[in-house]
Amino acid sequence: MTCNSNFAYILNYLLLIYCISSFKINFLANMNSKLLLLGAIVISYVFNISTEINPESDFLVALNILLLFFLFPYFKTRDYTVGHKVLFFIAGFIIFSQLVYIYEITYFTDLLESIYKRADAEQEFNFFITENRNGGIYFNPNQACKYATMLMGLTFVSLQGKFKWIIISTLMVSVVLTGSRTGLITALAFFAIHIFFLKRNFFLTFLVVAVGLVIIPTLEFNNIRSTQLNDTGSLDYKNEALFFYFSQAMKYDKWNHLAFGNFTSDYDIITSIYRMPQKYNLGFDAEIGFMISTFGVFGLVALILFYVRHMRSLNKKYLLIITPFIFWPVTSTIIFSFKSGMVYLVCLGWCVSKSNILNSKPKVSDDLA
């Protein structure tokens, strides 16, 4: 993560404030959970004030996270809806960008790359293409799948009728094309929770869960530039790196760093402190690893409490929106991927606001777009 990219993310927040400035927003709601996260970040900095902290990127990481949570929007009115045309366009554009790479339509691939592709992403992009995984405009298939599952959750809770299932079907195809097992599990979880809580069909719920537990670990697709899943993945690798980090921290008696983090996710600094081998250089590129290495177990607990607080306030109609946070932090990022973090928290804020209205006025119907 570069300094320039962090400044770009801050500009995104300013743009968000401008776009929602005409809405009736309550930024002061759930302030206790926000202050707890602020406390975790401040304590992490105090405990590491004498260490060699990157003066730009580490402070900007902390600032970005605080902006994400303190600008977390709660809408005061029930009039804001999600239009099916917007969701259909976004879903269609994502899968279109994937299909043009599958069928090698060079006019569109060159156009997409001229707009979206970063010069420093060449190696990463070529790796995923070689592995037959399709990220479309995101190039990284895990990032594409993360957005697809967030949109799927929003579609489940905000739409009704045929457009709902057309969009969900489109996004499901997009998830499959990414070859992400975390994405497939998240998508199946949407269906399982939807069936269990809203349809009360226990047998079908069990069937969906069984598909996820039995089929996904060994699923393979061998079509050209389609998905190719196998028995190996990043989950074991990242868990191994995290456990090694814990063992090294205890070995060198760095309990305060375990509790309050190192105020950095820079692997070179982590390596010098804990003598970790080079093979774990990508072991902390998931939400849990980032949070523990940067702000410690205290920071992770503060983050979990923030989500639990909102999960408890969600009406069962909107409960599905919390699903991406349950699965993605294990193998990827939400909050530490600041662009997707902003998108997810806006969606979560909309669902929390809708739930508060439903919970306070249960007899009033909630018409959705």
Q: Are 345 and 68 in contact (CB under 8 A)?
A: yes
Query: What is the model's pLDDT at position 283?
Result: 61
Query: What is the model's pLDDT at position 174?
Result: 92
Q: Are 20 and 73 in contact (CB under 8 A)?
A: yes
Per-position pLDDT tens, the chain of length 369: 334 455 555 666 666 666 666 566 666 777 888 899 999 999 998 888 776 655 577 787 888 888 778 877 676 665 667 778 889 999 999 999 899 888 888 888 888 777 766 555 555 555 565 556 788 888 788 888 999 999 999 999 888 888 899 999 999 999 988 888 888 889 888 888 888 777 677 777 777 777 766 666 655 544 433 333 334 456 677 777 778 888 888 887 788 888 998 888 777 777 777 887 766 666 677 888 888 888 999 999 999 998 888 888 888 888 888 888 888 888 888 888 777 888 888 888 888 888 877 777 655 444 433
Query: What is the model's pLDDT at position 91?
Result: 92
Handedness of CA 354, 166, 323, 198 (dihedral sign): positive
Instruction: Name the pTM for this structure.
Output: 0.81
Query: What is the model's pLDDT at position 162?
Result: 85
- CB count, 10 Å around CB of 351? 25
Query: What is the model's pLDDT at position 152?
Result: 93
Query: What is the model's pLDDT at position 155?
Result: 92
Query: What is the model's pLDDT at position 17?
Result: 65
Return the structure tokens found at 347: 């969606």
Query: What is the model's pLDDT at position 195?
Result: 81
Query: What is the model's pLDDT at position 364?
Result: 45
Query: What is the model's pLDDT at position 272?
Result: 75
3-state helix/strand/coil string of the chain: CCHHHHHHHHHHHHHHHHHCCCCCECCCCCHHHHHHHHHHHHHHHHHCCCCCCCCCHHHHHHHHHHHHHHCCCCECCCCCCCCHHHHHHHHHHHHHHHHHHHCCCHHHHHHHHHHHCCHHHHHHHHHHHHCCCCCHHHCCHHHHHHHHHHHHHHHHHHCCCHHHHHHHHHHHHHHHHHCCHHHHHHHHHHHHHHHHHHHCCHHHHHHHHHHHHHCHHHCCCCCCCCCCCCCCCHHHHHHHHHHHHHHHHHHCCCHHHHHHCCCCCCHHHHHHHHCCCHHHCCCCCCHHHHHHHHHHHHHHHHHHHHHHHHHHHCCHHHHHHHHHHHHHHHHCCCCCCHHHHHHHHHHHHHHHHHHHHHHHCCCCCCCCC
- Cα torsion through 8, 4, 300, 66, rounded to 10: -50
